Amino acid sequence: MTISDLNQKFGIPETLAFFEGQGALPCVRISNSLATCELSLYGAHVFSYKPAGQQDLLWMSDTTAYEVGKAIRGGIPVCFPWFGPHAEDSAKPQHGFARIMTWDVESALELSDGSTELVLTLNSSEETKTYWPYAFEAELTVVVGKKFTISLQIKNTGAESFTYTDALHTYFNISDLSNIQISGLAGTSYYNGFGADTTVQQEELLRIVQEENRRYINHENDCVISDEGLGRKINVSKTGSKVTVVWNPNAATAKNIGDMPDDGYKTFICVEAVNAYTDAVVLAPGKVHVLSQTFFAE
């Protein structure tokens, strides 16, 4: 559908409009009395969420490519049907194919509390089956209001069970790494990077002083990112996930990431809702699983 077609069918006057974004990608801008949000139909990728009177809660790389066939760096990448590199074929796209395909618009509506809901879909096709041979129906729902909720629903529409991993790979905007601490992780076991052994976090508050790629297992608690520089706390909760990933590349690794400024690592922290490792999803025919993350600032 063209931008004009999308606006005619799904646009909401003064609240939701489709437009051509960078790289000619089809995008959506949502603006209500509670918040604003921008996202791309390419990858169902959320770029921005600004509650009324606040700075953006999401971080975007200003050197990322907005180009079909390439992933976008920052915001909320949707990882599906695998998280990280493909287990058997390193030539397949990192974090799956969902973030490098254009999704369809299913619905857009205003809710009774003043928030706005947008639903996007991605169905299995001959193209998706070149990467992954299963029949599925993916539905991404965002609700933009005083809080931001993003939900990824996967339905098995085929005749055989499949196993998948996924994530909402959220980049939170912060003043500086030196100003933040994260609560809600104490006493939880985690893998450090891709290591085979687990460690239990002893400290009550996590401060980021080096490269971190912590993969917390059996973790369902809320996290709070306290930011002294911006004078705010970002509350992060989730459902449908027992793995939480906290990631920041720090200086040395950031220099090797082509679509990130060398100093970009200083102003974001990823706190991700994940189904992977000990929490991969096994889905029988006709069954559904929903991964959801909600966050807000105070």
Block mean pLDDT (10 aa), the chain, length 298: 97 98 98 98 98 97 96 98 94 97 98 98 98 98 98 98 98 98 98 90 97 97 98 98 98 96 97 96 98 98
pLDDT of residue 195: 83
Considering the chain, what is the average pLDDT of its residues?
A: 97
Query: Catalytic residue among 169, 203, 211, 220, which?
Result: 169
Q: What does the longest C-alpha to C-alpha distance in the chain come to? A: 54
pLDDT of residue 218: 97
Please state, in angstroms and rounded to a whole number, the distance separating the CA atoms of residues 128 and 125: 5
Q: Is 139 a catalytic residue?
A: no
Q: Residue 169 burial (CB < 10 Å; 0-12/13-18/19+)? A: buried
pLDDT of residue 297: 97
CB contact at 8 A, 73 and 64: yes
pLDDT of residue 283: 98
pLDDT of residue 196: 87
Q: Is 203 a catalytic residue?
A: no
Please state, in angstroms and rounded to a whole number, the distance separating the CA atoms of residues 7 and 28: 10
What is the DSSP secondary-structure string of the chain? --HHHHHHHH-BTTTEEEEE-GGG-EEEEEE-SSEEEEEETBTTEEEEEEETTS--SB-B-TT----TTSPPPBSB-EEBS-SSS-SS-TTSPTTBSGGGSBPEEEEEEE-TTS-EEEEEEEE--HHHHTT----EEEEEEEEESSSEEEEEEEEE-SSS-EEE-EEE--EEE-S-GGGEEEES-TT-EEEETT-SSEEE--SSSB---S-EEEEEES----EEEEETTTTEEEEEEEES-SEEEEEE-HHHHHTT-TTS-TTGGGGEEEEEEEE-GGG-EEE-TT-EEEEEEEEEE-
Please state, in angstroms and rounded to a whole number, the distance separating the CA atoms of residues 22 and 25: 6
pLDDT tens-digit map of 57-111:
999 999 999 999 999 999 999 999 999 999 899 999 999 999 999 999 999 999 9
Residue range 3-297 forms a domain whose CATH class is: mainly beta
List C-alpha distances in Å: 153 to 60, 78, 167, 219, 288: 24, 11, 11, 20, 7
pLDDT tens-digit map of 205-235:
999 999 999 999 999 999 999 999 999 999 9
